[in-house]
A and B are shown apart, each in its own frame.
Chain A
Amino acid sequence: MKMMMGIEVHCQLSSKSKLFCSCSTDTKDKNPNENTCPICLGFPGSKPKVNKAVIDYGIMVAKALNCKVAEKMYFSRKSYFYPDMSKNFQITQYEIPLAVNGFLEIDGEKIRIKRIHIEEDPAKLVHKGGDITTASYVLIDYNRAGMPLLEIVTEPDFTTPKQVRLFLEKLSSILEHLGVYEAEREASLRVDANISLEGGERIEIKNITGFADVEKALNYEIVRQRGLLRMNMKVERETRHFDADRRVTKSLRKKEYEEDYGYIFDPDLAEVEISKEWLNRIAAKMPELPDQRVQRFVKQYGIDEYQAKVIVYTDKNLADFFEKCCERYKNAEKAAKWIITYLLKSLNWHSISIKQSKVNVDSFIEFLELMDSNTITERYAKELIKEYVDTGISPKELIKGKVKSLSEKDLKDIILKVLEENQKAVQEYLQGKEKSIEFLIGQVLVKTKKQADPKIIRKILLSCIEK
Chain B
Amino acid sequence: MIEIKTVKEFVENADSIDFDDFISSVIEKCEKIQSKYQPFITINKNHAKPKKGLIHALPVSVKDCICTKDLQSTAGSKILEGYIPPFDATCVTKIKQQGGVIIGKTTQDEFGFGTFNVNSKYAIPKNPFDVERSCGGSSGGAGCITAAADFPHIAIAESTGGSITAPAAFTGTYGLTPTYGRVSRYGLIDYANSMDKIGVIAKSTYDIALMLSIISGYDPLDSTSADLAEQDFTKFIGKDIKGMKIAVPKEYFGEGVDKKIADLIWEKIKQLESLGASYEEISLPMTKYAIPAYYIIAVSEASTNLAKFCGLRYGLHKQLSGNFDEYFASVRSQGFGEETKRRIILGTYARMAGFRDAYYLKALKIRTLIIQEFKKTFKSFDIIAAPSMPVLPLKFSEIENLKPIENYMMDILTIAPNMAGIPMISVPAGLINGLPAGLHLMADHFNEAALIKASSSLEGLE
Contacts and interface: CB of A to CB of B under 8 A. Distances in A.
Chain B contact residues, majority secondary structure: loop
A49 B218 CA distance: 14
Contact of A79 (B185, B307, B320, B328): B307
A263 B187 contact: no
Interface string A121-165: 000000000000000010010000000000000000000000000
A88 B308 contact: yes
A44 B185 contact: no
Contact of B192 (A46, A262, A265, A267): A267
A36 to B, nearest CB: 10
A316 interface: no
Interface string A25-47: 00000000000001001111111
B64 to A, nearest CB: 11
B83 interface: yes
B73 interface: yes
B392 interface: no
B13 interface: no
A262 B348 contact: yes
A81 B86 contact: no
Contact of A49 (B220, B312, B314, B320): B220
Nearest to A262: B351
Contacts of B360: 264
B186 interface: yes
B352 A262 contact: yes
Interface string A80-118: 011100111100000000000000000000000000000
Which size bracket describes the interface of B in this complex? 35 or more
Contacts of A50: 223
B78 to A, nearest CB: 14
Contacts, number: 102
Contact of B304 (A38, A82, A262): A262
Q: Which of A82, A88, A137 is the most central at the interface, judged by chain B CB atoms within 10 Å of its CB?
A: A88
Contacts of B186: 45-47
Which size bracket describes the interface of A in this complex? 20 to 34
A45 B75 CA distance: 10
B403 interface: no
Contact of A44 (B73, B221, B348): B73
A48 interface: yes
Interface in B56-104: 66-67, 73, 75, 80, 83, 85-87, 89
Interface in A41-68: 41-50
Nearest to A95: B361
A264 B300 contact: yes
A177 interface: no
Nearest to A87: B308
B91 to A, nearest CB: 11
A142 to B, nearest CB: 9
Nearest to A256: B325
Contact of B307 (A89, A265, A269): A89
Contacts of A264: 300-301, 304, 351, 360
A117 to B, nearest CB: 18
B310 A45 contact: no
A43 B223 contact: no
19 contacts: A38-B86, A43-B85, A43-B86, A44-B75, A44-B85, A46-B187, A47-B223, A48-B223, A49-B220, A81-B328, A82-B324, A88-B310, A260-B353, A262-B300, A262-B303, A262-B304, A265-B364, A267-B193, A269-B223
Given A88-B308, A268-B224, 15 more contacts: A44-B83, A45-B66, A45-B73, A45-B189, A50-B223, A81-B325, A81-B328, A89-B304, A89-B308, A137-B320, A260-B352, A261-B353, A264-B301, A264-B351, A267-B193
